[in-house]
Chain A
Amino acid sequence: MTSATLYGLMGAGLVGLGLYGLVVHPHALRKILAFNILGGGVFLLFGVIARRGASAGVGGDPVPQALVITGIVVAFSATALAVALAVRLVEETGRAALPFDDPPTGRAHRAEL
């Protein structure tokens, strides 16, 4: 097993961990944080593809590498906007959590609306 494959497995694991955190944490900030961990895993998979494409005297394919640099900056922009929205949500409602829709209470919610 090459070391690139090991990093690929690590990326896959990070996507799984991030997805789990995104689903189970009710707090908005923790959802944003989990989403960033998920994103780090996706970027790492790009890095593995780049590493496997090493040729012509460079250590990795520069095209996926450049895509990841763009991706990191765009992910940061989205994170900053999401964080500002979360802060505003707390200022408006006093709650930082998005409510869960369990099947029974979900129906009650709809009845209230």
Chain B
Amino acid sequence: MNKQRAAAVLGLLVLAVAAWAIATRTIFASVIGFVSYGLLLALAWVRLAAVDVAITEAAIGGGVTGVLLLTAYARLRRTDEAHTEPAPPSPALRASAAVLSALVAAGLAGIVLMPVSPAPTLAPLAVDSLPATGLGNPVAAVLLAYRAWDTLLEKVVLLLALLGVWSLAPDLLWGGRPGLRHPMQRDSPLTLLAQLLPPVGIVVGVYMVWNGATAPGGAFPGGTILAAMWILVMQAGLADAPAVGGRALRIVLVAGAALFLAVGLAGFVVADAFLAYPAGYAKPLIVAIEIPLTLSIAATLGLLVAGPPARRPEA
């Protein structure tokens, strides 16, 4: 009974915060609402017994997406001098949008209220094959063993998105540093935070990757926390964003996907299929892939937030 009450309270709270983020007048308030929404949603994921998802949602859904939107808002405010708030749509359009959205929500609610019985599940299969992977966390086993193909492609999607962002730079800025240099303010709380938090954050991120094999965590949540620390240091002006033309940076960016692909291709020779691990070596190989993968993810996420090159490359 208490569980239902907690679910009802949390559900109403998340819906209220989401509604506020949609309805509020200013973009700034809307982004703040969105960050709170992401953090509350992470609580719902914990209640749904999906701690791995909760960590990812809190780190990426709330945190890094929030920073991305806030940075973009600050840039738009600088450029958009006229501050032309676009005209809101007509009441008729708003009413029909509301009816359409309510219909879609009602349809989904109907599906939720009429569950199939017995519920379809792959949990027994995933748990039964765990010993073969040497892992203790079934979600990590799905990500890096049973469906490693998805995770490899996901890493490629991240790189493609970064290429897309970089390609929006004007020609003469290509290869330069992204964003404007943030001036360091000696006595600001941000500088203090950027000095205190990263040592702790780096330990937490590394712990999550190392422990991800047996407990909730893994390369993506760990990489996100490392990226968050890097973004914090860049925003406080303690370190400048790297020039996107740098060779070392590009090696770090592709290392994760490249090693993953190499191990996958080696699977043809040493095991029997693409991305198959030889018996007994699954766990060491997975950990070996996860380490460069984490660094690549952290670098890619940080640069996605930093945006396209905005300064001329130094000769």
Contacts and interface: CB of A to CB of B under 8 A. Distances in A.
A94 B90 CA distance: 23
> Which secondary structure dominates chain B's binding surface?
helix
A106 interface: no
B308 interface: yes
A55 B125 CA distance: 10
Interface residues of A, number: 84
B272 interface: no
Interface string A77-111: 11111011111101100111100101000000000
Interface in A31-76: 32-34, 36-37, 40, 43-45, 47-63, 65-70, 72-76
B127 A58 contact: yes
Interface residues of B, number: 98
Nearest to A2: B4
Q: Which of B6, B72, B89, B104 has the most CB of A within 10 A?
A: B72
Nearest to B297: A73
A87 B11 CA distance: 34
Contact of A100 (B93, B98, B154): B93
Given A3-B6, A66-B147, A87-B75, A80 B139 contact: no
Contact of A29 (B18, B19, B76, B304): B76
A91 B74 CA distance: 13
Nearest to B160: A77
B30 interface: yes
Contacts of A79: 65, 68
Interface of A: 1-21, 23-27, 29-30, 32-34, 36-37, 40, 43-45, 47-63, 65-70, 72-81, 83-88, 90-91, 94-97, 100, 102
